[in-house]
Amino acid sequence: MKRFSLLLLICVGVWASPSREIVVAIDQNPSKEVPISSSNGCDISKYRPVSDKNYFFAYGELFYWKPTQNAVDYAVKGQPSEFFPQQTIGAFRGFGQYGTVQSASYDWTAGLRVGVGGLFQSRNWELDGNFTYIHPDGSDHVSKPAIDMLIGTHPFDSGNAFLARATTSIDFSYALANLLIVKRILFSEDMIFRFFMGSTGGWFDNNWKWKYFSSNNEENSFVSNWNFSGGGVRGGFQGEWYLCYGFGLGGTLSTALLYGYYENQYRMKIIAPQNLPPFFKDKSEFGDHRIVPHMQLAFGPNWGIMINKIVLKLYVQYELNLLFNLHEVHRSLQEGSIIDGRNSRYAYGNIGLQGLNFGACLAF
């Protein structure tokens, strides 16, 4: 009993000691700043804006992208000029696409993205506005082989002459603007996340031309153009895994829905030899309101440093952008009647842009 009483007195004394009061006072002081350091011993606060200070930031990116676009085929090269031995059998008299399909393609093109914003550290909110622009183009051509045939994938009107040569050119204008509200979270001592949502606007314009040249110098010229302008909402997140000495790995994933007006035009013009007047054989257009989805993915390494509360960040990223519900090519079936039978058929495709971004951000 005496031993139990002595142990109880020792416990009460420790609880009431001044050292315990100091621990409680520290725990109850929310203004106490705890040094933030990464798990490998590097202090993230020396390289990233994590202290209680507001910042204004501006950034720019020079990127090098190459678009990819399907449903832009214009010729097939390689069909044999002679029928197979079974040509006397009706099933073998006609051919579909036989050979290598030739399609329009884009060249690598430089573009620019600029942005400004503010970081409000009291609640870790950001306001971010940016604008992206690129205008890639490309061209291609193909000639009839010496033995095999060259066949057009679109109507070719030249009488009994064969297709000797085909050319194509294409360009695409991509302009996108965002105004975003961002919530910034220091998820752990080496992980920073930025969740964002806001408004977006897009202006997209596509011009595709191709020409067929017959053996008797007759030319069939085609034009397929479309454009879209609209706005909507965007959401997504950015993340950075801070490594050490200013280096980190970052990434972005965002999606958007844009609602706006879409226009499409299709033309087929025949230019005959011997100075005969050219004329349009097909000339159609349509427009509608539609929803265009957009997806963006980017990731890559970065490096940053803070000097006298001024932050500099450099980064390189691979970026992929996908656009849906935009590309349509009119393919009308030509019937014998002059009053009906003009069936509308369309080839649909998607557009992707991918490449490398080289960026710099300055915050102060």
> Would you state the pLDDT for residue 12?
36
Instruction: Specify the length of the chain in residues.
Output: 364
Q: Looking at the predicted structure, is the pLDDT value of residue 5 above 80?
A: no
Distances (CA, A) of 108 to 171, 202, 204, 317, 354: 12, 21, 18, 16, 10
pLDDT in tens, 270-319: 988 777 788 888 889 999 999 999 999 999 999 999 888 899 999 999 99
- 3-state secondary structure (DSSP) of residue 16: coil
Q: Which tens digit of pLDDT belongs to each residue from 43-86?
A: 787 788 776 789 999 999 999 999 999 999 999 998 776 555 55
Measured from the Cβ of residue 132, the count of other Cβ atoms closer than 10 Å reads: 21
Q: 163-197: per-residue pLDDT in tens? A: 999 999 999 999 999 999 999 998 888 889 999 99
Number of neighbouring beta carbons within 10 Å of residue 141: 15
Residue 26 one-letter amino acid = I
- Could you tell me the domains of the chain? 47-363 (2.40.128)
158/161 Cα distance (integer angstroms): 6
| Sign of the C-alpha dihedral computed for residues 15, 16, 18 and 20 taken in this order | positive
Burial class (CB in 10 A: 0-12, 13-18, 19+), 148: middle
